[in-house]
Amino acid sequence: MSNARVVSTSLGFERPLVTVDVVIFTVIDEQLCVLLVRRPDGEQEPFPGRWALPGGFVDVNKDVSLQACAERKLMAKTGVASPYLEQLGSWGDAKRDPRGWSCTHAYFALIGQPASIVDGDAPAEWLPCDLAVRRRLAFDHSSLLTAAIERLRSKVEYTSLPAFLLPEPFTLPQLQRVYEVVLGRALDKSAFRKRMLDADYLEEAGPVTGDHGRPAMGYRLRERERATVFPRGFKSGE
Amino acid sequence: MSNARVVSTSLGFERPLVTVDVVIFTVIDEQLCVLLVRRPDGEQEPFPGRWALPGGFVDVNKDVSLQACAERKLMAKTGVASPYLEQLGSWGDAKRDPRGWSCTHAYFALIGQPASIVDGDAPAEWLPCDLAVRRRLAFDHSSLLTAAIERLRSKVEYTSLPAFLLPEPFTLPQLQRVYEVVLGRALDKSAFRKRMLDADYLEEAGPVTGDHGRPAMGYRLRERERATVFPRGFKSGE
- Alpha helix locations (H) across chain A? 66-78, 129-132, 141-156, 172-183, 189-199, 223-228
pTM value is 0.88
A221 and A193 in a common domain: yes
Q: Over 70: is that where the pLDDT of A229 sits?
A: no
pLDDT above 70 for B232: no
Identify the pLDDT of residue B120.
60
Cα torsion for B212, B214, B216, B218, to the nearest 10°?
70
Q: Distance (Å, rounded) from C-alpha B34 to C-alpha B26?
A: 7
B235 in any annotated domain:
no
Residues of B in contact with A159 (CB under 8 A): none
Ramachandran region of residue A126, left (φ > 0), alpha (ψ -120 to 50) or beta?
A: beta
pLDDT tens-digit readout, B153-184: 998 878 899 999 998 899 999 999 999 999 99
Comparing B143 with B236, which gets the higher pLDDT? B143
Domain closes at, from A156, A189, A204: A156
Q: Are residues B188 and B134 in the same domain?
A: no
Residues A103 and A128 grouped into a single domain: yes
| End-to-end Cα, chain B, rounded Å | 36
Same-domain pairing of B30 and B103: yes
Residues B74-104: pLDDT tens digits? 888 877 765 689 999 999 999 999 999 999 9
Which chain B residues are closer than 8 Å to A234 by Cβ? Answer: 89, 147
Sign (positive/negative) of CA torsion B206, B209, B212, B214? positive
Q: What one-character-per-residue DSSP string does A158-207 give?
A: TSSGGGGGSPSSB-HHHHHHHHHHHHTS---HHHHHHHHHHHT-EEEEEE
Answer yes or no: do A100 and B60 touch at CB < 8 A: yes
Provide the 3-class DSSP secondary structure of residue B45.
coil
First and final C-alpha spacing in chain A: 36
Does B133 touch chain A if contact means CB atoms closer than 8 Å? no
Minimum distance, in Å, between the CA of residue A22 and any CA atom of chain B:
15
- Strand B17-28, strand B102-110: pairing: parallel
CATH code at B130? Answer: 3.90.79.10
Tell me the pLDDT band of B236, cut-offs 50, 70 and 90.
very low
CB contact under 8 A, A234 and B89: yes
Domain residue limits at B61: 8-156
- Say if the Cβ atoms of B3 and A17 lie within 8 Å: no
Q: How confident is the model at residue A84 (pLDDT cuts 50, 70, 90)?
A: confident
Which position has the higher pLDDT, A234 or A149? A149
Domain count, chain B: 2
pLDDT tens, position by position, B4-25 = 334 344 566 889 999 999 999 9
> Tens of pLDDT along A24-48?
999 999 999 999 999 988 888 899 9
pLDDT > 90 fraction of chain B, expressed in percent and rounded: 66
Q: For residue B57, is it within any domain? A: yes
**Do B212 and B117 share a structural domain?**
no
Give the integer Cα–Cα distance in Å for A135 and B26: 43
